């Protein structure tokens, strides 16, 4: 008997490439039929066949206060009742700009956009305009959205598909992007020694979440900061995912590294299309209409999306919010590690703030190469077995997971119990 998910997927594939509006949703990496969700509430989502799951994807990060938080929904309803969009400035955009600059002192100025891709694409253009240079440095396995120059050995969906570079990107553009190894300070120093004064920007996920979760090494971050300062290159910290997830001040606040520009998204939109980039005033003032670097957006600062983001940003500043979330996430990764060990499974896990990584490898990976060496097939098997147990993990071995403030100790215990049952029967 065809399930509703299967029927929806069959029909969607006739009109939408791969049946999805973003590749990683297609389950091509893990196999099987993608889930079509119909409802979310708190820590839970329900698919088209009314099966309930504990959700650890959180819409790929945004739903840090859980699905349909009443205060977020009300703020959206109230804003929508006043207007869905004006293409003109609104007071709410000033409110969220003030909120972002208060939370993140490195933000002297900020510009709102509608997606993380727009944020990173524009930050790169801004760095090139500010420095009058063209070359950029990124790191293999890091994903910064799908603008041409950044789809070179990207992570997330591109990595999942095993096509590290996308077709359709002109070689002339890809040639301006140097791809180095994440956490390799020596490699970065060598690149700067060779052509440091040609480098417009270094863009990095200060905590990598698109090749599964990889934490930065101290010397890697320190080298990046000092080399960019020495050579007049712009350090862009892409905190679209790690921002407000690692902690209130993101990865750069956690590790104490000062960016020149930061890109933000996901949590700051509360699930709706709001993202941003910002940083040093002298760089941001190069942006139109003040300066010669052009960027624009019909929906930038959309009042309904801003209402969702602003309310979410207020909620995450509640006393003890991150302490509880960090503890709950750690409890889960430690619990999963213990049950895997009990059953002799080569498995490891780690967390930082409300982000976590699960790996079918004996040790936690610290590099792209180590992530790629983990047992992807074992992950895919675990993913489907957890789905059967009502636990929704990211449908790819190359994605980080997320816990929300709506998750309870009971949800974490149920997740660990599900893994224990699966590993007990693991041959």
> What is the footprint of ligand KE4 within residues 328-357 (CB under 6 A)?
none
Q: How many Cβ atoms are within 10 Å of 290's Cβ, its own excluded?
A: 10
Q: Does 116 bind ligand KE4 (CB under 6 A)?
A: yes
Residue 63 CB, nearest approach to ligand KE4 (Å): 13
CA dihedral 398, 403, 409, 412 (to 10 degrees): -20
Q: Does 163 bind ligand KE4 (CB under 6 A)?
A: no
Residue 143 CB, nearest approach to ligand KE4 (Å): 5
Q: How far apart are CA 337 and CA 190, in angstroms?
A: 37
> What is the footprint of ligand KE4 within residues 377-406 (CB under 6 A)?
399
Q: Taking the CA atoms of 247, 251, 252 and 257 in sequence, report the sign of the dihedral they define.
A: positive
Range 224-232, long-range pairs (CB < 8 A, 24+ positions): 224/188, 224/257, 225/257, 225/258, 227/188, 227/189, 227/192, 227/196, 227/202, 228/199, 228/201, 228/202, 228/260, 230/192, 230/196, 231/192, 231/196, 231/197, 231/199, 232/131, 232/197
Residue 382 CB, nearest approach to ligand KE4 (Å): 19
Site string for ligand KE4, 14-53 (x = CB under 6 A): --------x-x-----------------------------
Q: Does 210 bind ligand KE4 (CB under 6 A)?
A: yes
CB nearer ligand KE4, residue 18 or residue 85: 18
Element (H, E) at 13: helix 4-15
CB nearer ligand KE4, residue 93 or residue 399: 399
Residue 409 CB, nearest approach to ligand KE4 (Å): 27
**Residue 103 dihedral angles phi and psi, to the nearest 5°:** -70, -40
Q: Does 113 bind ligand KE4 (CB under 6 A)?
A: no
3-state helix, strand, coil in the chain (%, to 5): 45, 15, 40
Residue number of the CB closest to ligand KE4 reads 116
> What is the footprint of ligand KE4 within residues 131-160 (CB under 6 A)?
143-145, 156-157
As a whole number of Å, the end-to-end CA separation of the chain is 30
Residue 262 CB, nearest approach to ligand KE4 (Å): 11
Site string for ligand KE4, 267-296 (x = CB under 6 A): --------x---------------------
Element (H, E) at 328: helix 321-342
Of 101-109, 110-118, 383-391, 406-414, which segment contacts ligand KE4 by CB under 6 A? 110-118
Q: Which residues contact 84 (CB under 8 A, 6 or more apart)?
A: 302, 303, 304
Among 265, 271, 335, 353, binds ligand KE4 (CB under 6 A): 265
Size of the site for ligand KE4 (CB under 6 A): 21
- For the annotated catalytic residues, the residue numbers are 143, 238, 266
Among 205, 261, 307, 387, binds ligand KE4 (CB under 6 A): 205
Element (H, E) at 160: helix 156-160
Which residue from 268, 272, 321, 297 is spatially nearest to 77, judged by alpha carbons?
Answer: 272
Of 47-55, 132-140, 203-211, 216-224, which segment contacts ligand KE4 by CB under 6 A? 203-211
Among 9, 36, 44, 60, binds ligand KE4 (CB under 6 A): 60
Query: Do the Cβ atoms of 267 and 61 come closer than 8 Å?
Result: yes
CB nearer ligand KE4, residue 22 or residue 363: 22
Query: Do the Cβ atoms of 53 and 387 come closer than 8 Å?
Result: yes
Write out the residues near ligand KE4 by the rule CB under 6 A.
22, 24, 60, 115-117, 120, 143-145, 156-157, 205, 209-210, 238, 240-241, 265, 275, 399
């Amino acid at each position: 008997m065809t399930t509703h998910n299967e029927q929806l997927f069959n029909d969607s594939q006739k009109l939408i490439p791969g049946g999805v509006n973003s590749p990683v949703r297609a389950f091509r990496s893990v196999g099987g039929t993608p889930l079509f969700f119909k409802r979310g509430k708190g820590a839970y989502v329900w698919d088209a066949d009314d099966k309930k799951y504990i959700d650890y994807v959180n819409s790929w990060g945004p739903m840090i206060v859980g699905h349909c938080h009443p205060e977020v929904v009300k703020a959206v309803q109230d804003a929508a009742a006043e207007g869905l969009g004006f293409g003109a400035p609104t007071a709410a955009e000033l409110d969220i700009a003030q909120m972002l600059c208060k939370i993140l002192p490195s933000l002297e100025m900020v510009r709102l956009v509608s997606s993380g891709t727009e944020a990173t694409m524009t930050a790169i253009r801004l760095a090139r305009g500010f420095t009058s240079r063209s070359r950029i440095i990124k790191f293999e396995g890091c994903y910064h959205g799908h603008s041409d120059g950044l789809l070179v050995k990207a992570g997330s969906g591109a990595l999942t598909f095993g096509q590290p570079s996308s077709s359709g990107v002109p070689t002339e553009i890809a040639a301006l992007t140097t791809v180095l190894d994440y956490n390799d300070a020596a490699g970065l120093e060598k690149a700067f020694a060779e052509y440091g004064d040609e480098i417009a920007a270094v863009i990095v996920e200060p905590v990598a979440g698109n090749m599964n979760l990889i934490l930065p090494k101290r010397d890697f971050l320190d080298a990046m900061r000092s080399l960019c300062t020495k050579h007049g290159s712009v350090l862009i910290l892409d905190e679209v995912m790690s921002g407000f997830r690692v902690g209130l001040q993101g990865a750069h606040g956690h590790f104490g590294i000062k960016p020149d520009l930061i890109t933000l998204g996901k949590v700051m939109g509360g699930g709706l299309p709001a993202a941003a980039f910002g940083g040093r005033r002298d760089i941001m003032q190069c942006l139109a209409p003040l300066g010669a670097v052009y960027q624009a957006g019909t929906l930038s600062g959309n009042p309904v999306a801003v209402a969702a983001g602003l309310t979410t940003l207020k909620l995450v500043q509640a006393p003890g919010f991150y302490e509880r979330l960090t503890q709950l996430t750690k409890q889960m990764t430690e619990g999963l590690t213990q049950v895997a060990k009990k059953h002799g499974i080569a498995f490891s896990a780690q967390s930082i703030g409300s982000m976590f990584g699960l790996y079918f490898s004996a040790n936690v990976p610290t590099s792209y190469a180590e992530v790629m060496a983990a047992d992807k097939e074992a992950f895919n098997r675990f993913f489907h077995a957890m789905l059967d147990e009502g636990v929704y993990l990211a449908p790819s071995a190359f994605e980080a997971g997320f816990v929300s403030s709506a998750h309870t100790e009971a949800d974490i215990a149920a997740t660990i119990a599900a893994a224990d049952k699966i590993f007990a029967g693991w041959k």
